[in-house]
Amino acid sequence: MTTQVLSEGTADALRAAYYYAMVDDRPVVDVAMVRASADRITTKRPGPRTITPQPEAAPPHEPASPREVTPPREAGVGAETGDAPDLREARWWVRRDNDPLPGVDPAWSISVVDALAGGELATLPGDPAPVTTIIGLLGVGGGLEHPRRVVRWMSGVTRRILDRADGPVLIALEMEAARQAVRRGRQLDSAAVILAVLSLDEQLAAAGQRLMPASEPANQGGAMLRSRGVTLAAAQEAAAGVREEVELSPRQLVWGHTAVDPSWTAGAVALWDAAKELAGGGPAGTTHLVRALEVTGAPAATAMLAAVG
């Protein structure tokens, strides 16, 4: 399976189109709106390039392949609509950055789904670099060896958040696991955690970045999985067919929970907590998350890896 990686420019245009449709009370986002939004973007995008820490978590709420398409439905205005991982992600970033949420939740025209799958949106103006959402958060937390921006000062709020999350790598992995869950249209299950492990290495490579040398021994999980023949693309494809983990947990994202974030499953929490125990009081990372698969129940992740072979 060949993974089509979205560019920053196309991701910006999708977020902008959804944002403008949302605030203008438009029920459907079509291709013309995406193209117009790409031309309209200047230096600010309607979805965060970096994630702003929030002082306190909000009260709890009830809560693939890159060309995966859900069955289309008929919108109120009669337009045929559909969905895809990149579109679910664009919607999530915009809605989690806008509180309170507007009443309208625009759907995506099937024309956008088809254009995205066919590569027609790959040439939109904007940054041609691949999307690497995890890099910005690692940089803010001081987790990169050569960040684009040197973090010379860190607020007490940010430092407390990082301490609660056991450092910049795990906090970035939390957000990446949430992103992977959103792209699959699932809750944040154990499969999403392992997809985040694989995605971390791919995004670091795409951005030409490395973790801080002291963090590297604890973050060899991606390499461990690749040595078994597991790639991100293959795991994403297998994850679409695994049974859902239905038991949910009250746990929330440390870096600012919002009403639109996926809920943690009990399986994901068990995997996460087992990894921290395996770290023995030191910084936990992807190495411990992969090893934790052997000592705890993580049904979605186990089934996904078994399907990859």
pLDDT (0 to 100) of residue 260: 94
Q: What dihedral angle (degrees, nearest 10) is formed by the CA atoms of 206, 208, 214, 215?
A: -10
Identify whether the C-beta of residue 7 lies closer than 8 Å to the C-beta of residue 38. Answer: no
pLDDT for residue 136: 81
- Residue 56, classified by CB atoms within 10 Å of its CB into exposed (0-12), middle (13-18) or buried (19+), is exposed
167: which 2 tokens?
A: 């450092």
- Contact (Cβ atoms closer than 8 angstroms) between residue 19 and residue 36: no
* pLDDT tens string 210-238: 998 989 999 999 999 999 999 999 999 99
Encode the chain (309 residues) as per-residue pLDDT tens digits.
Answer: 445 679 999 999 999 999 999 999 999 999 999 999 999 884 444 444 433 334 344 344 333 333 343 444 434 456 799 999 999 999 999 999 997 888 899 999 999 999 999 999 988 888 888 999 888 888 766 677 665 544 333 444 444 555 555 667 888 899 999 999 999 999 999 999 999 999 999 999 999 999 989 899 999 999 999 999 999 999 999 999 999 999 999 999 887 889 999 999 999 999 999 999 999 988 899 999 999 999 998 999 999 999 997
CA angle 68, 117, 38 (to 5 degrees): 120
pLDDT at 180: 98
Confidence (pTM): 0.83
The pLDDT of residue 287 is 97
- pLDDT of 107: 97
